[in-house]
Chains A and B, each alone.
Chain A
């Protein structure tokens, strides 16, 4: 059994009708397992105005195992590691929540929502999570600063 059909179908779905503010394609036309995503920083978040490049990787076991998402553009966010990896932690991508019928479309929407509403209790970066919880204005200021530094006009 191969997942090619499933992946092709999902790719067609999201490229023809992507979530608002997203451009989706393959990194390399010959490999359907690596998707290239450009996401606008969503309205109502301190990331607005930024353009974030993401890499979505489908494991060979897809859809029985969840995809992974990495921010290629640096982002200062409680649930994304502030390094070259840009690893993201999100509920739907966890092994015990992911189901083989879960859709990449939903992963992308969840990612967008995560920028609007971080989940500090699931944080990968404690410093931004602390600020998000205890000093929202400062959190917004820092996030805007890093967005300007890494994600605007690049």
Chain B
């Protein structure tokens, strides 16, 4: 069942990304995407014994984290709607429940208060519907624990960066309360100086007189700059490849990584030239999405191989790929020989490790 975790995550993140793009928290918008993707069908298929139950359990546990911080309010709403949709579409009786831990419950309550205050009636309604339908297990921990750590857990639990607000530490630090406090202290300080010296002594002007307004201004400027930058980045993204394409590319990169320990091959100069623009962006993704654990840059060999493969795919010549990538050919033949065993992960199957 664990093999389904990755594809389930991909599907849910696709739906959430589309919901994010609507810049809305309306259930109607969500429902439109849900129906367009025919998301209820995620449960379809000829079941093996107990498979449906185990799958329902898995998908609810994959989706739950999107309902909690650090995700943005909008993504959390999307996560809630997704839980609602999945809870109601599952094909087992009694239905599998959504697990909430005591630690996370205070976030859920804050979320509800925020939704009430912002008069997001549909959000509150859906949440309360889940409560009255007894859709939750009130637990100690978000998942059952077996004192067993799986190697891939780190990767699987990774936060989806696109769904998180850009960090705003300066803003968090300089709050209204904090500014008031500084203003008070500053006033007190000026008062003390006055009481000590009859005449104001310029030697004691160590701190700017308008400290608080200046600090406030600096934070505002930073905040504006950050916001503008994010906006322009988003515009860049929109001009670039779509989300779907980039995830496809990430998969491709993963497959390349697995087969790239073989031989180095020289590229023709013209191709090398054409590739220069594309590679850096893709490389960033390479280290971000495919090998989050390894901070190390991929080896020169890997990067070179990667360039070739992109090249091969781009110039619609599968044959081109094969010319230099012998291992790929072998790999494609291999499954035919060992026909009996199911290959869960065809893209990554030739990982030499």
The answer to whether A binds B is no
**Chain A interface (Cβ < 8 Å from any Cβ of B):** none
